[in-house]
Amino acid sequence: ESADLETAINTLGNGTFAFEALPLALYIFLSNVGNPEEALFQAVNSYGEFGGDTDAIGFLVGAMVGAYYGEDAIPYHLKENVENSQKLRELAEKLYEVVEKQVGFSH
């Protein structure tokens, strides 16, 4: 049975602990398969009634969206002001190259 975001926040939590942030990030990502931009917006707005660690949840959902759909699925206006974004892209490419060599797959 599906739950809305508010129910998921109240059930799973949205705090700074990994046992709260990761389950909620997974819920948001999986609830929005096919709509990565909505997943990102829900993640950064997942503060619930009492606040929450929306930056960590947004980071986790962003990582899932990027890994599953690729960087192009993240709208430019959401990436343009990220601090050190070019360095992050370079590190991501290097990580991909390492995994590609270890696992033997390519894009």
Prediction pTM value: 0.78
pLDDT above 90: percentage of residues in the chain: 38
CB 72 within 8 A of CB 65: no
Please give the Cα distance from 10 to 24 (Å, whole number): 10
- Rg of the Cα atoms in the chain: 15
Q: How would residue 84 be classed by pLDDT, with cut points 50, 70 and 90?
A: very high
Residue with tokens 């947004």: 58
Say if CB 28 and CB 14 are below 8 A apart.
no
pLDDT of residue 87: 94
**27-66 residue pLDDT tens:** 999 999 999 999 999 999 888 766 778 889 999 999 999 9
